[in-house]
Structure 1
Amino acid sequence: MNKSIYILFTALVLSSSLAGQEKRGYQWIMGGNSVGSGVRMNFNSTQVSIFYEQTGIKMEGSNTSMCDEEGNLLFYSNGCVIVNAMGEVMQNGDSINPGIIQNFYCPFGGSPIGQGVVAIPAPESESLYYVFNLDFDFSYLEDTSFLGVAPQRLYYQVI
């Protein structure tokens, strides 16, 4: 009897964990040229599909994208602006990186910080997401006499 309960419990745990698998990272938007044409990688099937697409924004440095639980693209960002799957700027998604990046990098291709923007679902919500991004600013480190630009602040937006 104990063995039957153990097997049933194990089956329930495994089935619920497999059913709970989400596809939030199944589409990646990358790259971009001067007219906002980039590449989309879609991992929704057994074979990855890669195709060119008008992204509406340049994505030459930082990038992130978010899908729903079914793997449908919801939004993406280049660390300067957050746009929906149709390429339209979202609420709270404009000019997300004030300062040096907004003034000197955003007009020419997006935030240059590698992995400088990340999106995650808000806990306990099916419709809210957090987008975190780093900035650049002038910094001076006394012990190394370094004077230059480096990430100084972490910003976040609720989408």
Structure 2
Amino acid sequence: MKTYVQYLLFLPLWLLALGAMAQKEATNWYFGRRAGISFAQPEPAPLKNGMLFSEEGSAVISDAQGNLLFYSNGMQVWNKNHQVMANGSELKGHESSVQSALILPKPGSSTLFYLFTTDFQGQDHGLQYHVVDMSRNGGLGEVVSKNNLIFAPVTEKLTAVKHRNGRDFWVLTHRWNSTAFYAYLITANGITFTPVESRIGAMHTGDNGAAIGFLKASPAGDKLAVATWAPVNKIELFDFDNATGLVSNVVDLGKFEEAYGVEFSPDGSRLYGGKNGIAGGEARIFQFNLKAGTPDAIIHSGQQVAKSLSRKIGALQLGPDGRIYVARNSSGYLGVIRNPNALGPNCDYKDNGLNLGNQKSELGLPNFPGFYFHNLTPPTGYVVQQR
């Protein structure tokens, strides 16, 4: 009887873990100075076959079985054989843009993908879209349409949220010299070029450095977080309506000098944000408890949970193993938040968390939409403290 009861208790967790593992579009990562990671096995392992160089942003897509399809730094596209894809050069993104690229499947298609790119620091190329057809060239793909301007100028912020209907997507960015978020609806009919506009939060203006910093959505798609570099120097939290595309209810989480990366825990209960201090040298990670209650309680829940030996840290990115990976500038290691659902120091940050196998990271990690990591379970063996 005891064995049978234990089996029943274990079964729901096993099913949940199986469901989380079944979505493998984020299995392969390429970033930095030809660095990479494979999540094909239970423990992540470095990849040394990538051709990508990027000071900051990149994007990668694999199929539902975890097989690499293609990747980009916003300026070039490489196929699964690590060759420049047909017509995959001279894209008008920029590898020095924080979120230089984002890849989404076209709703209703098994072979077409949108590649969105951003220019750096609010420059003229703005937000562009490109179309990749994976049915071309024997499955190696071809960029069949490129450098299509959606809007300029925008900041370096670029993410996506799954629509409440479970089929379509919202692509989100932030207008430069403005308080406006733009949410573009992506359906089987294509891109709706008139965005849903939400004017809320800090003005992204002044020194072009204020265009720097991440925009991230929670895995459930109900929250947004924004980090804004100097001279704005802040992290903000918002509500997002994934049915209407509207952004609302700003919570200013305070001043963070040279704020750059932000990320949500897999269960959406915690928000992490990184800062570097003016000109670097104070690389720190802070955690906010989104279950604390009122906006004021969330603000006051903020606490430092990690510091890095690197002068600068960049992207914070959820992985398919439920951990958060931290880009350490010019380092052969990534930092790792090993138990991000846990409160405070129990999140278990390791600065030399993952050896990149003689390759080096810069400030960026691949830009994945949060919905790929919805309902991930914590890694086996870690105890999560909920409050």
Bin for the TM-score computed over the shorter chain: 0.5 to 0.7
Q: CA deviation at 1:73?
A: 0.8
In structure 2, list runs of 5 or more residues that go unmatched: 1-14, 133-387
1:30 and 2:31 equivalent?
yes
Distance 1:47 1:31 in 2: 21
Deviations 1:40-75 (A, max 9, x none): 21112211111323x334222211100011011110
Deviations 1:130-155 (A, max 9, x none): 1100114xxxxxxxxxxxx5255210
Q: CA deviation at 1:122?
A: 1.3
User: Is the contact made by 1:92 and 1:158 (CA closer than 8 Å) also made in structure 2?
Assistant: no
Counterpart in 2 of 1:39?
35
In structure 1, list runs of 5 or more residues that go unmatched: 1-13, 33-37, 102-110, 137-148
User: Is the contact made by 2:102 and 2:117 (CA closer than 8 Å) also made in structure 1?
Assistant: yes
Counterpart in 2 of 1:49?
45
User: Is the contact made by 1:93 and 1:157 (CA closer than 8 Å) also made in structure 2?
Assistant: no
82 and 72 in structure 1: CA distance in 2 versus 1, 3 angstrom threshold: same
Question: Which structure ranks higher in relative contact order (CA pairs < 8 Å, sequence separation ≥ 6)?
Answer: 1
The structure where strand makes up a greater share of residues is 2
1:94 and 2:66 equivalent?
no
Counterpart in 2 of 1:155?
128
Q: TM-score, normalised by structure 1?
A: 0.63
Counterpart in 1 of 2:259?
none
Counterpart in 2 of 1:118?
102
Distance 2:85 2:64 in 1: 20
Q: How many residues align?
A: 117
Counterpart in 1 of 2:342?
none
Secondary structure of the 1:80 match is coil
Q: CA deviation at 1:119?
A: 0.6
CA RMSD after TM alignment? 2.7
Secondary structure of the 2:117 match is strand
Distance 2:47 2:77 in 1: 21
Q: TM-score, normalised by structure 2?
A: 0.28
Letter in 2 for 1:70: Q
Q: CA deviation at 1:121?
A: 1.2
Aligned 1:77-92 pairs, distance under 5 A: 77-92=72-87
User: Is the contact made by 2:24 and 2:62 (CA closer than 8 Å) also made in structure 1?
Assistant: yes
The structure where helix makes up a greater share of residues is 1
Q: CA deviation at 1:91?
A: 3.4
Counterpart in 2 of 1:74?
69
State which of 56, 60, 65 in structure 1 corresponds to 2:60. Answer: 65
Distance 2:47 2:71 in 1: 16
Distance 2:128 2:87 in 1: 12
Secondary structure of the 1:18 match is helix
User: Is the contact made by 1:92 and 1:157 (CA closer than 8 Å) also made in structure 2?
Assistant: no
123 and 18 in structure 1: CA distance in 2 versus 1, 3 angstrom threshold: same
How much identity, in percent, do the aligned residues show? 29
Distance 1:119 1:82 in 2: 11
Distance 2:107 2:87 in 1: 19
Letter in 1 for 2:84: V
Distance 2:20 2:47 in 1: 29
Distance 1:63 1:125 in 2: 23
Letter in 2 for 1:119: I
User: Is the contact made by 1:80 and 1:97 (CA closer than 8 Å) also made in structure 2?
Assistant: yes
